[in-house]
Chain A
Amino acid sequence: MTAAASATQIVKPRQPGFIVWLGLIPFFLFAVLFLFLPSASLFIGSLTDNAGHFSLVHFYELFAAPDILNAYWLSISISAVTAIGGGIFGFLLAYSVTVGGLPKALRPALITFSGVASNFAGVPLAFAFVATVGRTGLVTALLKSVFGINIYNSGFNLYSFAGLSVTYMYFQFPLMVLIMAPALDGLRREWREAAENLGANSTQYWWKVGLPILLPSILGTMILLFGNAFGAYATAYALTGGALPIITIQIGAEIRGDVLHNVGLGYAMAFGMVIIMAISLIGYSMLQRMTERWIR
């Protein structure tokens, strides 16, 4: 004990408090150069008119352009659909391997697979879905030959809203599984036993105990999925080649300089995205705090 006390004295020589902050300079310098300055330049650029004066003109332009508002709306819809769909399906999957009574061996398999799938995005993912449900894809052909259904005649198109949503789901629901599996483990057996002792059946237990406890965590994770899809660019670009004008595709076109020829508007579009992402992250952290009341 005395040894530890004297050792502590070695570690904490008397130095003024601010000196120790100097050790963090490399990190802060990096953050300023490659995170703050780029974001700040977009922010300032969006608030500067073409003559270099402060103005909100680009935000007026933003709200006056139906194309851009539609692009935001399309991005928000796709992100919401895949967040809710992926959230529900991911939850059911996480449920099935945690408390759903499946053999224990399936759980590590699903968790590993989810880790892979949630990181498998971009160009390869787009190619994989073209090979699966593209016009000549495996599943498309299978449905045609076995069931006589041509999904492309019944309105499905991989290069559309539905197709992009189906593709996004591939990295959306695994993320839900990864986050929900530990949360489901946090449900204590005592709670279920107490409910059963009071005469509750399984449905009542889930509606009155299980889901209310997990709800903040479920909603929070869905928000995370929303942000995950909202910021995605490569998958959509590789799949649709820019034909589906979601907001990231529009910004990409703006950076390449082939549409609006108005850099300030591009900055405003980017800034709008950051605001939506920030709102969703704040929502997420608030819900996360609510979850921690019950599940640590």
Chain B
Amino acid sequence: MKRAFNLRYSLRRFPFWSWLWFILGALYFILPLYATLDFSLRMKRGVISLQAYSSAFSDPQFFQTFLFSNLMALATIFISLVLIVPTCYWIRLRVPAARRIVEFITLMPFVIPAIILVFGLIAIYGAPINIPFTSINLLAPLTESDLGTNLLLAAGYIVLAMPYMYRAVDTGLQAMNMRALTEAAQSLGANWFTIMIRVIFPNLRSALLSGALLTFAIVVGEVTISSFLNRPAFGPYLWLLGQHRSYEPAALAFFSFLLTWAAMGLIQLVSGGQGQVSGAH
């Protein structure tokens, strides 16, 4: 009995299986990244060099598409915030009855994958929109102008990011005492706009930053919607580059990984490492 106990104790001191799973997992994580990095450094035969990176970054197309995707990310984040924060706030404050339906809507993007969403967007906005049952033209096809297509792209991205953004904002509002803050601001004579800009947004900043960074991570490398809408975004550019080059795409793939990493690292930082609290006590 005592031996068995000692054996069990020593097994617990060295968790063999746990280490095995962890090491396997770490290999799975790291090997593809290492392989990409290794490959990207071998553009010059026989030496390790950053030539693939300098070649990739000096392509003007890279700069244009990357800038375009970043601007789209900014637009997406801005519109998402303007749309979701007041909605979420208003629901919590005044219309709790709307909560379930809005939550349901924010979960819909999980059921409608990007490829279906863009299919539907093209189906609707790729044709002129008439007043129902007449042939009076209300709106020319949005896909015919750059501005209209960009608008569709941003809308698609907002939908993709909605589940994450909504949840981030909702959790943030739950954590702050918004009712008391609203009451305090109102008794000082603030109007709704002031409350939003000077009370709610500043108090939500870590939640908003998390949501924004996640949106950024989703949008910058996105391919499906941008390629079907024919937008000059970074994802389709990278895909095209992969068709006729080999080292530069690897360099840019590693670069995208670093970007995702930076975004996720910042989320951990601003949320105070939410993933780690509540450890086994």
Do A and B make up one complex? yes
Which residues on B sit within 8 Å (CB–CB) of A255? 115, 118-119, 122, 228
| B 238-261 to A, binary, CB cutoff 8 A, 1 in contact else 0 | 110010000001101110110011
The answer to whether B35 touches A137, judged by C-beta atoms less than 8 angstroms apart, is yes
Asked if B114 is at the interface of the complex by the 8 Å CB criterion, the answer is yes
Q: B279 contacts which of A30, A107, A139, A173 (Cβ < 8 Å)?
A: A107
Which residues on A sit within 8 Å (CB–CB) of B84? 27
The answer to whether A26 touches B118, judged by C-beta atoms less than 8 angstroms apart, is no
Which residues on B sit within 8 Å (CB–CB) of A8? 183
Asked if A112 is at the interface of the complex by the 8 Å CB criterion, the answer is yes
Asked if B186 is at the interface of the complex by the 8 Å CB criterion, the answer is yes
The answer to whether A123 touches B242, judged by C-beta atoms less than 8 angstroms apart, is yes
- Please, how many angstroms separate the alpha-carbon atoms of A111 and B277 in the complex? 11
Asked if A74 is at the interface of the complex by the 8 Å CB criterion, the answer is no
Asked if B74 is at the interface of the complex by the 8 Å CB criterion, the answer is no
Asked if A170 is at the interface of the complex by the 8 Å CB criterion, the answer is yes
Known A-B contacts A7-B187, A124-B252; A20 and B94 likewise in contact (beta carbons under 8 Å): yes
Q: B94 contacts which of A23, A122, A189 (Cβ < 8 Å)?
A: A23
Asked if B110 is at the interface of the complex by the 8 Å CB criterion, the answer is yes
- Give the total of B residues in contact with A, Cβ under 8 Å: 96
Asked if B87 is at the interface of the complex by the 8 Å CB criterion, the answer is yes
- Please, how many angstroms separate the alpha-carbon atoms of A117 and B224 in the complex? 19
Known A-B contacts A100-B18, A106-B22, A238-B239; A113 and B29 likewise in contact (beta carbons under 8 Å): yes
Which residues on B sit within 8 Å (CB–CB) of A189? 280-281
- Those of A6-60 within 8 Å (CB) of chain B: 7-8, 10-11, 20-21, 23-24, 26-27, 30-31, 33-35, 37-39, 41-42, 45
The answer to whether A277 touches B32, judged by C-beta atoms less than 8 angstroms apart, is no
The answer to whether B15 touches A42, judged by C-beta atoms less than 8 angstroms apart, is no
Write the chain B residue with the least CB distance to A18: B95
Asked if B270 is at the interface of the complex by the 8 Å CB criterion, the answer is no
Q: A124 contacts which of B113, B228, B253, B281 (Cβ < 8 Å)?
A: B253
Q: B112 contacts which of A27, A35, A119 (Cβ < 8 Å)?
A: A35
Min CB gap A195→B, angstroms: 14
Which residues on B sit within 8 Å (CB–CB) of A173? 25, 28
Known A-B contacts A112-B265, A128-B33; A42 and B25 likewise in contact (beta carbons under 8 Å): no
Asked if B34 is at the interface of the complex by the 8 Å CB criterion, the answer is yes
Write the chain B residue with the least CB distance to A174: B29
Which residues on A sit within 8 Å (CB–CB) of B33? 128
- Please, how many angstroms separate the alpha-carbon atoms of A251 and B261 in the complex? 31
Asked if B278 is at the interface of the complex by the 8 Å CB criterion, the answer is yes
The answer to whether B83 touches A30, judged by C-beta atoms less than 8 angstroms apart, is yes
The answer to whether B110 touches A281, judged by C-beta atoms less than 8 angstroms apart, is yes
Main DSSP-derived SS at the A contact region: helix
| B 108-124 to A, binary, CB cutoff 8 A, 1 in contact else 0 | 11111111111111111
| B 98-138 to A, binary, CB cutoff 8 A, 1 in contact else 0 | 10001001011111111111111111100000000000000
The answer to whether B253 touches A274, judged by C-beta atoms less than 8 angstroms apart, is no
- Please, how many angstroms separate the alpha-carbon atoms of A120 and B259 in the complex? 10
The answer to whether B257 touches A120, judged by C-beta atoms less than 8 angstroms apart, is yes
Min CB gap A164→B, angstroms: 14
Which of A65-73, A146-154, A207-215, A226-234 forms contacts with chain B?
Answer: A226-234
Sample of 26 A–B contacts (CB below 8 Å): A20-B94, A20-B95, A21-B95, A30-B155, A39-B116, A42-B123, A45-B123, A89-B24, A108-B276, A116-B264, A117-B29, A119-B263, A119-B264, A120-B257, A123-B239, A124-B257, A128-B254, A131-B32, A131-B253, A182-B278, A233-B113, A233-B115, A234-B239, A237-B223, A238-B242, A277-B112
12 further A-B contacts with Cβ under 8 Å, apart from A26-B86, A96-B25, A139-B35, are A4-B183, A24-B87, A100-B17, A102-B18, A119-B217, A120-B256, A122-B221, A122-B235, A123-B235, A189-B280, A270-B115, A273-B116
The 10 A-B pairs at the shortest CB distance, nearest first, are namely A38-B120, A231-B113, A100-B18, A96-B18, A138-B35, A101-B15, A124-B253, A7-B183, A127-B253, A234-B223
A residues neighboring B (CB under 8 Å): 4, 7-8, 10-11, 20-21, 23-24, 26-27, 30-31, 33-35, 37-39, 41-42, 45, 89, 92-93, 95-102, 104, 106-108, 110-113, 115-117, 119-120, 122-129, 131-132, 137-139, 169-170, 173-174, 177-178, 181-182, 185, 189, 201-202, 227, 230-234, 237-238, 248, 251-252, 255-256, 266-267, 270, 273-274, 277-278, 281
